[in-house]
A and B are shown apart, each in its own frame.
Chain A
Amino acid sequence: MARVLMALIPAIIAYSWFFGWGLLVNIAIAVVTALGCEFLMLKLRQRPAHPFLTDGSVLVTAVLLAFCIPPLAPWWITVLGICFAVIIAKHLYGGLGYNPFNPAMVGYVVLLISFPREMTTWLPPFIMSDLDFTLLDTLKAVFLGVFPPGYALDALSAATPLDLIKTQLSIDVTIAETKAANAIFGDFGGIGWEWIGNWIFLGGVWLIYKKVISWHIPVAVLGSLFTIALIFYLKDADHYSSPMFHVFSGAAMLGAFFIATDPVSAATTPTGRIIYGIGIGILTYVIRVWGGYPDAIGFAVLLMNLAAPTIDYYTQPRVYGHKRS
């Protein structure tokens, strides 16, 4: 678990570089809340704090959920999401090893559905030094909802590239036009976002190299997302974004390497993991393009969590001495 957190450090630095102190504040709130909830639940369930609390699994949940919350979201959003994730999605289902759903994604989806405004108020990418939005300003914004003069949240906030393309497409603006009219697009995804994606990718590859995660799920998620996006992009580039845009936007990278690979709620057979990953990739694309939400990793992961036991049952490897079928 420590290595999973270490692999996220470059991405956290990149995120903070582009979007300010918000993520670090969210992580701090999330970690404190998560440790508190975990400790409370372990006490109630009469489990020893060591090694359950110290194994770090709850920290991973906290950091991943913090990643999914907009940088200047009010503090109670993070607290509520973590409480739901740790208490309900994890411990009420039996705690570590027994939760059928990825706790971080349950927390995220609950927040997204319950508080759509707070959960979609993202910031445009800016470089920290360019903007005079200090740590103190961030803390005031998160905890008190007070913004420094000239920085009202509505003025600060901006749609994410995925969101923007979706809303523009709905009013018949083609992707090329949207990209030309808005300065938030980079080479593949959005400015800033694609760099965070790069660092997540590197962290994920390091985890595979260190054998903390297996390659099956990330390759399947990104591969299927890329492939299906490519098919539609080749068909109609005006209305369907490029495969690289899909892979480098939103939570695709984070989902592929850090969220979908949560072993507890994923499929566990080698073949099953590939099917599970492909399912997440395709569902993400379908919801992004035709569904009601701009991004869909959370929903896709939860839906495939549902299917994981069935996938496992039908993808048992051939056992020694049994006939090849």
Chain B
Amino acid sequence: MMRRLFNFPGGVRLREHKRESTSSPVARAQLPEKIILPLHQHIGVPAKPVVNPGEQVLKGQIVAEAGNNISAPIHASTSGKVLAIEDHAIPHPSGLPARSIIIDVDGKDEATDSYGTARDSSALTAEQLREAVKDSGIVGLGGAGFPSYLKLTNEQNKVATLILNGVECEPYITCDQMLMRNHALEIVRGLQIMQRALGIQQAIVAIENNKPKELELMQHAIYEAEADNVELVQVPTVYPAGGEKQLIQTLTGKEVPSQGLPMDIGIVCHNVGTAYAITRAIEHNEPLISRYITIAGSVAKAQVLEVPIGTPVSHLIEQCGGNRKTLSRVIMGGPMMGFALHDDEVPVVKTTNCILVNSVISDVPLPSRSNFAMPCIRCGACTQACPVGLLPQQLYWYARAKEFDKIQDYDLFDCIECGCCDYVCPSQIPLVQYYRYAKSTIWQQEKEKTFSDISRQRHEFHNYRLEREKKERELRHKQKRQVVEGTSTQDDKKAAIQAAMDRVRKKRDHSEVKPKNVDNLTDQQRKLIEEVEARRKKKLEEIKHDTDNNEVESRKP
């Protein structure tokens, strides 16, 4: 039976540029000299290191544990010695460094004893499967990096449909395609494990119709794995058909609610790479320590490599015949949604799918092609291209004008940053950059607002406290004054003053502290102490004399 497919609005057709990297087989990346493992490679809180500098680690050994429930552990991707746990450049648009575990690779690639041992998964319960996925550090490998075990939890049986995303719609990126070509059966087995963990029957595997070879291989694998309730669906090749929301719309006609999750409409979406990683973790005891990555663009040999996570990007570029000296811009991800790296020494992380190399010799055609943007003429080409139904020209207008209230009226936060508007803009305006800027500014403002709210509350309480103390003090004074004024004769006043002065004197006398640690002293030390004591006494006497004089002075009317 053919599944009825739905169209999503907008989208663009792009040149695929996929043949370059799929014409040669997948190779293993050579081991680098250093492995850099950022502690924050996933959505959630960073992992916590469990090794110390100088410690020897083995391939597959856990080096950082999950920070809390929304986090993922990190494992050493090869053997070596922990050099340091320090800030290092990581692949992030900001270019800011972040804490990473740096391992000096010894080249032996020794693994832990349990690594790669076969395990019979059929006996495991759903809970045990989830735990194994969690302990293996598996996160969404399609790009989001959300800890996968959370998306294998089916509370109240809300989830009815599992979608496995093999669409990979962005130009140049081919890692999922090559994975399906080489490991179709393991992907399907991973899908079956996901089905068991979720306790659901229905599953759909979606592949773009520009990958007939992989479709056939997957069909065969489904047959071989006897996955009768898995449906294989070809979807039209339109960018961004592989976006989670767009894929759900294409396959089911349903829309994920704004600010919601696919789970809200009973759907869970996983990437084929994640399914493969789950099979390796459950059946072979291999935590997530390597992945397929496409190296394309201005390199001698574009290809897909199986890369240990933490390998520096420069190392991969060199292996594919790129010249580090002529690099102009290295992009992590595809030309539409990727971001330029500030430094080619950054490592690849769990979510890296593609390294797109630009050099001064030849440039990869990118959506924001020109350095010079013309003014927006409100032609509306972006509106027609937007797969979410936004009005990109209005968002641009308000982002430029910094009208951040208005821009939210136009649903800025529903933008998926796919870059279709950039691509079709006749004025070549880098629209998505404006939206990212607006989003981060709004987040920053909200943070500051929360902070200032707290500060204001504290300030208001501080004022209230001062006021209260002032009132209490005034009350005390009033009572005292009543006591003093109640006895109004001259003698009583004098007596009161005398009493106060006695109190002061008493206090002063009592301040002569008893010396400590004076047992077992040598004669010399004792002598020294006596001299000091004598000097102190003399000084005290002087002070006493002065204050007595002052008292005499103060008694004068």
A residues adjacent to B (C-beta < 8 A): 51-52, 55, 57, 95-98, 214, 263-264, 266, 268-270, 273, 312-313, 316-322
Given A319-B388, A320-B388, A321-B258, check contact A55 B378 (CB 8 Å). no
Give the residues in chain A near B409, CB-CB below 8 Å: 313
Q: Do residues A264 and B389 form an inter-chain contact, with CB atoms below 8 A? A: no
Complex CA–CA separation, A320 to B7 (angstroms): 13
Q: Do residues A321 and B394 form an inter-chain contact, with CB atoms below 8 A? A: no
B387 interface contact, C-beta 8 A: yes
Q: Do residues A97 and B249 form an inter-chain contact, with CB atoms below 8 A? A: no
Complex CA–CA separation, A322 to B413 (angstroms): 12
Q: Do residues B372 and A263 form an inter-chain contact, with CB atoms below 8 A? A: no
Across the interface, A268 reaches (CB within 8 A) one of B249, B260, B378, B411, namely B378
Across the interface, B260 reaches (CB within 8 A) one of A52, A269, A321, namely A321
**Smallest CB separation, A296 vs chain B (Å):** 24
Q: Do residues B380 and A268 form an inter-chain contact, with CB atoms below 8 A? A: yes
Complex CA–CA separation, A266 to B379 (angstroms): 9
Complex CA–CA separation, A264 to B391 (angstroms): 15
Q: Do residues B389 and A320 form an inter-chain contact, with CB atoms below 8 A? A: yes
Give the residues in chain A near B380, CB-CB below 8 Å: 214, 263, 268-270, 273
Knowing that A98-B375, A263-B380, A320-B249 touch, tell me 13 more A-B residue pairs with CB under 8 angstroms.
A96-B375, A97-B378, A97-B427, A268-B378, A268-B383, A269-B383, A316-B391, A316-B410, A318-B389, A319-B388, A319-B414, A320-B389, A321-B258
B130 interface contact, C-beta 8 A: no
Taken residue by residue from 371 to 389, chain B's Cβ proximity to chain A (1 for < 8 Å, 0 otherwise) reads as 0101111111001100111
Complex CA–CA separation, A320 to B418 (angstroms): 14
Give the residues in chain A near B260, CB-CB below 8 Å: 321
B238 interface contact, C-beta 8 A: no
Q: Do residues A320 and B387 form an inter-chain contact, with CB atoms below 8 A? A: yes
Give the residues in chain A near B387, CB-CB below 8 Å: 320
Given A268-B394, A269-B383, A270-B383, check contact A321 B256 (CB 8 Å). yes
B255 interface contact, C-beta 8 A: yes
Q: Do residues B375 and A263 form an inter-chain contact, with CB atoms below 8 A? A: no
Smallest Cβ-Cβ distance to B370: which chain A residue: A51
Q: Do residues A317 and B389 form an inter-chain contact, with CB atoms below 8 A? A: yes
Complex CA–CA separation, A319 to B388 (angstroms): 6
Give the residues in chain B near A55, CB-CB below 8 Å: 374
Complex CA–CA separation, A313 to B389 (angstroms): 14
Top 4 A-B pairs ranked by shortest CB distance? A97-B375, A321-B258, A320-B388, A263-B379
Q: Do residues A96 and B377 form an inter-chain contact, with CB atoms below 8 A? A: yes
Give the residues in chain B near A269, CB-CB below 8 Å: 380, 383, 391
Smallest Cβ-Cβ distance to A265: which chain B residue: B378
Across the interface, A322 reaches (CB within 8 A) one of B249, B372, B393, B414, namely B414
Smallest Cβ-Cβ distance to B379: which chain A residue: A263
Taken residue by residue from 196 to 222, chain B's Cβ proximity to chain A (1 for < 8 Å, 0 otherwise) reads as 000000000000000000000000000
**Smallest CB separation, B24 vs chain A (Å):** 38
**Smallest CB separation, B174 vs chain A (Å):** 28
In residues 295-337 of chain B, which contact A (Cβ within 8 Å)? none
Complex CA–CA separation, A269 to B378 (angstroms): 10
B25 interface contact, C-beta 8 A: no
Complex CA–CA separation, A81 to B240 (angstroms): 47
B124 interface contact, C-beta 8 A: no
B245 interface contact, C-beta 8 A: yes
User: What are 30 A-B pairs at a CB distance below 8 A?
Assistant: A51-B372, A51-B374, A52-B374, A55-B374, A57-B377, A97-B377, A97-B378, A263-B377, A263-B380, A268-B378, A268-B391, A268-B394, A269-B380, A269-B383, A270-B380, A270-B383, A312-B391, A317-B383, A319-B388, A319-B389, A319-B411, A319-B414, A320-B387, A320-B388, A320-B389, A321-B255, A321-B256, A321-B260, A321-B388, A322-B258
Given A55-B374, A268-B391, check contact A320 B379 (CB 8 Å). no
Count chain B CB atoms within 10 A of each CB in A51, A52, A268, A269 and give the residue with the most: A268
Count chain A CB atoms within 10 A of each CB in B245, B260, B374 and give the residue with the most: B374
Give the residues in chain B near A313, CB-CB below 8 Å: 409
Give the residues in chain A near B93, CB-CB below 8 Å: none
Give the residues in chain A near B258, CB-CB below 8 Å: 319-322
Complex CA–CA separation, A266 to B383 (angstroms): 14
**Smallest CB separation, A216 vs chain B (Å):** 9
**Smallest CB separation, B150 vs chain A (Å):** 21
**Smallest CB separation, A155 vs chain B (Å):** 45
B442 interface contact, C-beta 8 A: no
Complex CA–CA separation, A54 to B312 (angstroms): 46
Across the interface, B378 reaches (CB within 8 A) one of A52, A57, A264, A270, namely A264
